[in-house]
C-alpha cells in the first residue's frame, strides 16, 4: 500500500471563539457583533475557496448556530453541489442567541455539558440537520467526545460513521499555555485515526465486539516530538498554530511543509499508510489578525498550505477525502485494532532528537531516544477505563486517559534531591558505579514482521571508571497482545572478560497531570521460581524485597485497573520491588542479571487489565 | 494612571511566552509602554520584538526545509555500509 490521505474540514461559524474573545477584549471599535457574523462567513468562504482553488475537496461541519442561518445553509448546499464537499455536523460553535434561549447555558464545550443537555443537543441538532438538508449527517465532531456520547449517538443515529473525537495531547501543557483557561484536558489518545473502544474513546477497540462503530480522527495532525515538552497547539497541521509558536519568519513557514512531509515519511511504519487532518477554525483567519500576526500572513499561510497539498495531489502523492469517504476507506483497509506507529525525527529544534510512538488496543507507549530509548509515557488501554466526562461526572473536565508513566509530569530521569521519577529504563552497574541508560543519547531504527513491530536503539557507550560498555536496547511490540519484549544486549566491552549488572526497571504511578495521586491500595509483588509470592499493599513505608531467582515482579494500580508485570524471557534473574515514600511517590519493580559480552537480558513487559 | 488597553497590535507577553504561557499585554498610552498583568514584564515594542527573536532561537531549523527523503535518511548514517557495526552515537 502507498496511501497518504488528507481530510480538510471547515466550519461556518457565526461567532468564532477567538474573534468573540478579541471583540470582548476591547477591539469592539473594529469588530461589531453583526460585522463578526458577516466576517465569519466570509472567512468560511475564503477557506473553502482556497481549498477548492487547489483541487482539494472539503468536509463542511455545520454548527448549531449555522443550522439556523439561511446563508450558511445555502453555502453548504452549493459547495456540495459544485465540489462534492461533504455536508457534515459538529458540536463546536453551538453558541448563539437561540442556543442560549433554548438551553439556558453559555457552555461551549459539548463534552462538558451535563448528560441531559448532551442528549438534547444531539437530538435537536441532528433533527434540525435533517430538516434543513433532508438527510442525517454521517460525520460529526467536537474537540472531544467520550465513549458515552459516541455510544448514544450511534444508538440514536446509526448512520454516523466518523467523528473528530479528540485533540491529540491537549492536556495540562495546553491548559497552562492558555493561562489555565482552555479546558481541553484530553491527553492520552492516539495521534492519528483509530476505531475507539465502546468503553473509552481514547482507547483503540479490542475487537469487533468492542467497536464503537465510528472511525475517530484527531482534530489536527501534530508534531510527535514537538508535543512532548510543548503545548501541541503550536505544532500541528494548522499554519496559524505554527505562527502562534513563532516558528516563522515574515511569511515563510517551512515547518508546516516539513510536518506534512514527515507524515508522508511515517507511511514506512504504518504499512504504507498515513493520514493528515487539517481543521482551521475561522477565528484563526480574522481580518483583525491573530495576536501579533496580521491578516495578510494568516491568509497567505493557509493559501501556501493548501497549495502544497494541491501540488502533492497533482503529483499523486496525496488523496483528498471527506471525513466519511475516509471512514469508508479505513473500514475497508484497516483492522478494528490496527496498531499505529511512528519513529519521529526533529525538523525544527536543530537536534538529532527522535521519539518513537506505538499504540494498539492494549497501550499507548512513547519512547524518548535521547534518553537512551527510555519509555517516558504509558497509557494502559488494556484496562479500557470508563471515564465519562462533563458536569455531573467524577472526571468532570479532566477527560485525559490516565498514564502509569509520564516522565515530564512526574520527574522522569531527573529529580531534585531525592527519590526517582516515573520512567521505564535500565541501569548498568560495575565496580560500585551505576549509570542509567537514560543518560545516553541515541537514535532508533525500525523493523517489522507478522504480528510484531520493533524499535532498535542504536548502541550507546556507558563509561565506568575502569570499563567501557556498549549496550543495544530493543523493543519488540507484539501487536494487541499487551506485551513488549525488551532486550538489553552487551555488544562491546573494553575488558571482554568483565561482567556488568543490568537492572531492568520501571518506576510507575498513575494520574493525568503533574500532582501525585494517592497510591494507597496499590500492590507490589515478587514471585520467586518456586511460586512463593511476597507482596505488600502500598503505604509509603519505603519497604523493599528481593528474590534471587524471580519468576516475575508485578504491580497492580487499582485506580486505573492496571497490572504491570515483568518476567525474564529465559534464564534466572534477581527480582525486586521498592515501595517508595511520600517524597518519592512511585512503585518500582525490576529484574537484574549479570551479563558478559554478547549476552542479552530479555524481559517481557506486560500491561493487563486488573479487575 | 490611565487604563491599559489592547494595543494596535495584540502582542503577547514575551516573558510569559518563554515559559509557554500566552498572555496578552496591555498598552499604557501615558507611559507609552506595554505591560503584563501576570508577570512583572513591561517594555516598549522594540523590547517585545527583540525578545520574540530570542524566543525563536529554540528553533535553529525554523527556516530549513526537510523533504520526505531527507527525513527518512536523517540519523540513519550509523547504518550505512562501511560504518563499524554497533558504533552508533555515543
Ligand atoms: Zn508576562
ipTM: 0.93
Q: Which residue from B55, B64, B74 is facing A254, i.e. has the nearest CB?
A: B64
Asked whether the beta carbons of A149 and A120 are under 8 A apart, the reply is: no
pLDDT number for residue A19: 56
Helix, strand, coil fractions of chain A, as percent rounded to 5: 30, 30, 40
Asked whether the beta carbons of A171 and A121 are under 8 A apart, the reply is: no
User: Could you give the number of structural domains in chain A?
Assistant: 2
CATH number of the domain encompassing residue A200: 3.20.20.510
Q: Is A567 on the interface with B (CB under 8 A)?
A: no
> Does A514 map to a domain?
yes
**Residue B71 to residue A261, Cβ atoms within 8 A:** yes
Q: Is A230 on the interface with B (CB under 8 A)?
A: yes
**Residue B61 to residue A350, Cβ atoms within 8 A:** yes
Q: Is A261 on the interface with B (CB under 8 A)?
A: yes
User: DSSP characters for A378-409?
Assistant: EE-GGG------STTSSSTTB-PPPBSEETTT
Q: How far is CA A473 from CA A373, A491, A553, B6, in A?
A: 7, 10, 20, 53
Secondary structure letter of residue A93 according to DSSP: -
Q: Is B72 on the interface with A (CB under 8 A)?
A: yes
Asked whether the beta carbons of B68 and A261 are under 8 A apart, the reply is: yes
**Residue A441 to residue B89, Cβ atoms within 8 A:** yes
Q: Which residues does chain A have within 8 Å of residue B58's beta carbon, measured at their own beta carbons?
A: 349
Nearest chain B residue (CA) to A317? B68
Nearest chain A residue (CA) to B89? A442
Measure the CA–CA gap between A328 and A121, rounded to whole angstroms. Answer: 26
Q: Which residue from A178, A347, A459 is facing B66, i.e. has the nearest CB?
A: A347
Q: How far is the CA of B20 from the centre of ligand 1 (A)?
A: 10
Asked whether the beta carbons of A111 and A143 are under 8 A apart, the reply is: yes
pLDDT number for residue A28: 44
Nearest CA to CA, how far is B71 from chain A (Å)? Answer: 7
Residues lining ion ligand 1 (Cβ < 5 A) are B 13, 15-16, 36, 38-39, 41
Do A491 and A587 share a structural domain?
yes
Do A324 and A370 share a structural domain?
no
- Closest to A224 measured CA to CA, from A249, A258, A268: A258
Do A278 and A426 share a structural domain?
no
pLDDT number for residue A34: 64
**Residue A176 to residue B21, Cβ atoms within 8 A:** yes
> Does A471 map to a domain?
yes
User: What are the phi and psi torsion angles at A276 (to 5°)?
Assistant: -125, 135
Q: Which residues does chain A have within 8 Å of residue B10's beta carbon, measured at their own beta carbons?
A: 22, 27, 289, 291-292
Do A52 and A169 share a structural domain?
yes
Nearest CA to CA, how far is A26 from chain B (Å)? Answer: 7
What residue has cell string 453583526? A34
- Closest to A187 measured CA to CA, from A170, A200, A202: A170
**Residue A231 to residue B65, Cβ atoms within 8 A:** no
Do A240 and A297 share a structural domain?
yes
> Does A163 map to a domain?
yes
Nearest CA to CA, how far is A157 from chain B (Å)? Answer: 40
- In a 10 Å sphere around its CB, with 0-12 CB exposed, 13-18 middle and 19+ buried, how is residue B70 labelled? middle
> Does A362 map to a domain?
yes
Do A329 and A409 share a structural domain?
no
The range of the structural domain enclosing residue A22 comes to: 3-333
Nearest chain B residue (CA) to A291? B10
Q: Which residue from A25, A179, A261 is facing B68, i.e. has the nearest CB?
A: A261
* Residues comprising chain A, all counted: 611
What is the crossing angle of helices A70-83 and A33-53, to 10°?
0
Interface of B with A in 24-63 (CB under 8 A): 24, 38, 52, 55-56, 58-63
Do A504 and A603 share a structural domain?
yes
Measure the CA–CA gap between A4 and B52, rounded to whole angstroms. Answer: 35
Q: Which residue from B9, B23, B62 is facing A179, i.e. has the nearest CB?
A: B23
Asked whether the beta carbons of A50 and A300 are under 8 A apart, the reply is: no
**Residue B60 to residue A350, Cβ atoms within 8 A:** yes
Nearest CA to CA, how far is A223 from chain B (Å)? Answer: 13
**Residue B62 to residue A26, Cβ atoms within 8 A:** no
Q: How far is the CA of A169 from the centre of ligand 1 (A)?
A: 25
Copy the grid coordinates of residue A579.
Answer: 515501595
Copy the grid coordinates of residue B4.
Answer: 491599559
Do A291 and A202 share a structural domain?
yes
Measure the CA–CA gap between A563 and A349, rounded to whole angstroms. Answer: 37
Nearest CA to CA, how far is A255 from chain B (Å)? Answer: 6
Q: Which residues does chain A have within 8 Å of residue B66's beta carbon, measured at their own beta carbons?
A: 258, 261-262, 347
Measure the CA–CA gap between A15 and A36, rounded to whole angstroms. Answer: 7
Q: Is A257 on the interface with B (CB under 8 A)?
A: yes
Determine if residue A176 is left, alpha or beta; phi over 0 gives left, psi from -120 to 50 gives alpha, anything else beta.
Answer: alpha
Please indicate, yes or no, whether the overall pTM of this predicted structure exceeds 0.80: yes
Nearest CA to CA, how far is B30 from chain A (Å)? Answer: 18
pLDDT number for residue B84: 43
> Does A393 map to a domain?
no
> Does A389 map to a domain?
no
Helices (H) then strands (E): counts for chain B:
3, 3
Do A370 and A263 share a structural domain?
no
Low-confidence ranges of chain A (pLDDT < 70): 16-37
> Does A345 map to a domain?
no
Q: Which residue from B65, B76, B88 is facing A442, i.e. has the nearest CB?
A: B88
Interface of A with B in 341-360 (CB under 8 A): 345-350, 352, 354
CATH number of the domain encompassing residue A508: 2.70.98.10
Q: How far is the CA of A167 from the centre of ligand 1 (A)?
A: 27
Measure the CA–CA gap between A97 and A95, rounded to whole angstroms. Answer: 7
Nearest chain A residue (CA) to B9? A292
Q: Is A246 on the interface with B (CB under 8 A)?
A: yes
Q: How far is the CA of A293 from the centre of ligand 1 (A)?
A: 19
Do A258 and A377 share a structural domain?
no
pLDDT number for residue A595: 98
- Closest to A89 measured CA to CA, from A145, A40, A137, A157: A137
Do A365 and A328 share a structural domain?
no
User: What are the phi and psi torsion angles at A538 (to 5°)?
Assistant: -60, 130
Domain limit, last residue, from A333, A367, A391:
A333
Q: Which residues does chain B have within 8 Å of residue A470's beta carbon, measured at their own beta carbons?
A: 86, 88
Q: Is A244 on the interface with B (CB under 8 A)?
A: yes
Q: How far is the CA of A30 from the centre of ligand 1 (A)?
A: 26
Q: Which residues does chain B have within 8 Å of residue A315's beta carbon, measured at their own beta carbons?
A: none
> Does A112 map to a domain?
yes
Nearest chain A residue (CA) to B63? A254
The string of pLDDT tens digits covering residues B71-82 is 999 998 765 554
Q: Which residues does chain B have within 8 Å of residue A177's beta carbon, measured at their own beta carbons?
A: 20-22
Cα–chain center distance at A175: 15
Do A515 and A605 share a structural domain?
yes
- Closest to A137 measured CA to CA, from A92, A86, A177, A178: A86
What residue has cell string 535500565? A426
Beta strands A58-62 and A3-10, pairing class: parallel
Amino acid at each position: 500500500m502507498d496511501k497518504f490521505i488528507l481530510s480538510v474540514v471547515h466550519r461556518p461559524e457565526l461567532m468564532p471563539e477567538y474573534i468573540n474573545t478579541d471583540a470582548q477584549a476591547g477591539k469592539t471599535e473594529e469588530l461589531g457583533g453583526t460585522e463578526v457574523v458577516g466576517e465569519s462567513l466570509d472567512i468560511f468562504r475564503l477557506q473553502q475557496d482556497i481549498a477548492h482553488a487547489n483541487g482539494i475537496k472539503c468536509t463542511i461541519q455545520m454548527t448549531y448556530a449555522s443550522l439556523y442561518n439561511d446563508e450558511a445553509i445555502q453555502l453548504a448546499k452549493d459547495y456540495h453541489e459544485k465540489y462534492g464537499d461533504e455536508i457534515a455536523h459538529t458540536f463546536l460553535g453551538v453558541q448563539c442567541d437561540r442556543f442560549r434561549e433554548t438551553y439556558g447555558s453559555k457552555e461551549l464545550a459539548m463534552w462538558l455539558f451535563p448528560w441531559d443537555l448532551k442528549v438534547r443537543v444531539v437530538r435537536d441538532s441532528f433533527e434540525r440537520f435533517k430538516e434543513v438538508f433532508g438527510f442525517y449527517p454521517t460525520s460529526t465532531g467536537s474537540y472531544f467526545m467520550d465513549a458515552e456520547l459516541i455510544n448514544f449517538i450511534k444508538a440514536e443515529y446509526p448512520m454516523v460513521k466518523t467523528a473528530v473525537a479528540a485533540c491529540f495531547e491537549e492536556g495540562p501543557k495546553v491548559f497552562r499555555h492558555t493561562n489555565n483557561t482552555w479546558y481541553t484536558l484530553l491527553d492520552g489518545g492516539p495521534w492519528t485515526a483509530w476505531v475507539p473502544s465502546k468503553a473509552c474513546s481514547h482507547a483503540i477497540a479490542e475487537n469487533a465486539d468492542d467497536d464503537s462503530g465510528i472511525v475517530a480522527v484527531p482534530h489536527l495532525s501534530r508534531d510527535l516530538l514537538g508535543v512532548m515538552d510543548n503545548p501541541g497547539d503550536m505544532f500541528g497541521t494548522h499554519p496559524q498554530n505554527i505562527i502562534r509558536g513563532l516558528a516563522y519568519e515574515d511569511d515563510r513557514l517551512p515547518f508546516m511543509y516539513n510536518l506534512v512531509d514527515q507524515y508522508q515519511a511515517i507511511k514506512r511504519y504504518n504499512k504504507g499508510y498515513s493520514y493528515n487532518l487539517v481543521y482551521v477554525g475561522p477565528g484563526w483567519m480574522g481580518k483583525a489578525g491573530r495576536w501579533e500576526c496580521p491578516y495578510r500572513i494568516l491568509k497567505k499561510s493557509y493559501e501556501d498550505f493548501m497549495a502544497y497539498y494541491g501540488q502533492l495531489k497533482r503529483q499523486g502523492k496525496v488523496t483528498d477525502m471527506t471525513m466519511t469517504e475516509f471512514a469508508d476507506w479505513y473500514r475497508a483497509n484497516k483492522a478494528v485494532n490496527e496498531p499505529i506507529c511512528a519513529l519521529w525525527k526533529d525538523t525544527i529544534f536543530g537536534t538529532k532528537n527522535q521519539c518513537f510512538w506505538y499504540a494498539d488496543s492494549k497501550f499507548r507507549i512513547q519512547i524518548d531516544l535521547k534518553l537512551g530509548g527510555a519509555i517516558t509515557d504509558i497509557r494502559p488501554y488494556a484496562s479500557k477505563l470508563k471515564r465519562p466526562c462533563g458536569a455531573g461526572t467524577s472526571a468532570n473536565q479532566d477527560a485525559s486517559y490516565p498514564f502509569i508513566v509520564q516522565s515530564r509530569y512526574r520527574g522522569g530521569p531527573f529529580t531534585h534531591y531525592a527519590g526517582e521519577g516515573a520512567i521505564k529504563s535500565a541501569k548498568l552497574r560495575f565496580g560500585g558505579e551505576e549509570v542509567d541508560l537514560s543518560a545516553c543519547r541515541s537514535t532508533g531504527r525500525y523493523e517489522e514482521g507478522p504480528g510484531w513491530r520493533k524499535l532498535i536503539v542504536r548502541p550507546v557507550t556507558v563509561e565506568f571508571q575502569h570499563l567501557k560498555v556498549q549496550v543495544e536496547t530493543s523493543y519488540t511490540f507484539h501487536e494487541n497482545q499487551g506485551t513488549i519484549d525488551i532486550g538489553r544486549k552487551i555488544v562491546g566491552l573494553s575488558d571482554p572478560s568483565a561482567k556488568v549488572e543490568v537492572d531492568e526497571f520501571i518506576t510507575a504511578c498513575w494520574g493525568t497531570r503533574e500532582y501525585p495521586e494517592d497510591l494507597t491500595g496499590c500492590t507490589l509483588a515478587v514471585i520467586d521460581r518456586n511460586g512463593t509470592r511476597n507482596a505488600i499493599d502500598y503505604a509509603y513505608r519505603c519497604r523493599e524485597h528481593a528474590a534471587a531467582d524471580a519468576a516475575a515482579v508485578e504491580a497492580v494500580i487499582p485506580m486505573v485497573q492496571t497490572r504491570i508485570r515483568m518476567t525474564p524471557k529465559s534464564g534466572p534473574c534477581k527480582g525486586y520491588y521498592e515501595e517508595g515514600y511520600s517524597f518519592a511517590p512511585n512503585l518500582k519493580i525490576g529484574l537484574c542479571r549479570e551479563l558478559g559480552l554478547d549476552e542479552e537480558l530479555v524481559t517481557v513487559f506486560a500491561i493487563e487489565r486488573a479487575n | 494612571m490611565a487604563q491599559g488597553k489592547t494595543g494596535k497590535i495584540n502582542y503577547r507577553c514575551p516573558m510569559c511566552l518563554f515559559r509557554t504561557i500566552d498572555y496578552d499585554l496591555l498598552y499604557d498610552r501615558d507611559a507609552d509602554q506595554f505591560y503584563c498583568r501576570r508577570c512583572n514584564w513591561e517594555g516598549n515594542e522594540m523590547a517585545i520584538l527583540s525578545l520574540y527573536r530570542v524566543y525563536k532561537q529554540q528553533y535553529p531549523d525554523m527556516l530549513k526545509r526537510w523533504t520526505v527523503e531527507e527525513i527518512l535518511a536523517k540519523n540513519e548514517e550509523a547504518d550505512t555500509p562501511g560504518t563499524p557495526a554497533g558504533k552508533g552515537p555515543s
